[in-house]
Amino acid sequence: MGARVTRMFRNFNLENRAHKEISRQKPVPAPRHTVRDPPPAGAGSSGDADALNQKNESLLGLLRSVYVDSTDPAAAEVSNKVMEDETRRPLKFHVPSNTPGLAEVTDVPKGKLSIAEALKALNSHQREPLTWTPEKIAQDYSLDLKDTKAFLEYFILFRVYVQPTKTENTKQIKAS
Residue 24: DSSP 8-state: S
Average pLDDT over residues 108-128: 88
Average pLDDT over residues 145-172: 80
pLDDT in tens, 131-150: 999 999 999 988 999 999 99
Question: Is the distance from CB of 146 to CB of 111 less than 8 angstroms?
Answer: no
User: In sequence order, what are the residues at sequence separation of 6 or more whose Cβ sits closer than 8 angstroms to the Cβ of residue 47?
Assistant: none
- What is the pLDDT, as a whole number, of residue 73? 76
Domain locations along the chain: 88-95+105-154
CA distance 82 to 109: 10
pLDDT in tens, 48-100: 677 778 888 898 999 889 888 888 777 766 666 655 546 787 777 666 666 56
Helix (H) or strand (E) holding 82: helix 73-85
Question: Is the distance from CB of 89 to CB of 110 less than 8 angstroms?
Answer: yes
- What is the pLDDT, as a whole number, of residue 106? 77
Question: Is the distance from CB of 88 to CB of 108 less than 8 angstroms?
Answer: yes
- What is the pLDDT, as a whole number, of residue 116? 83
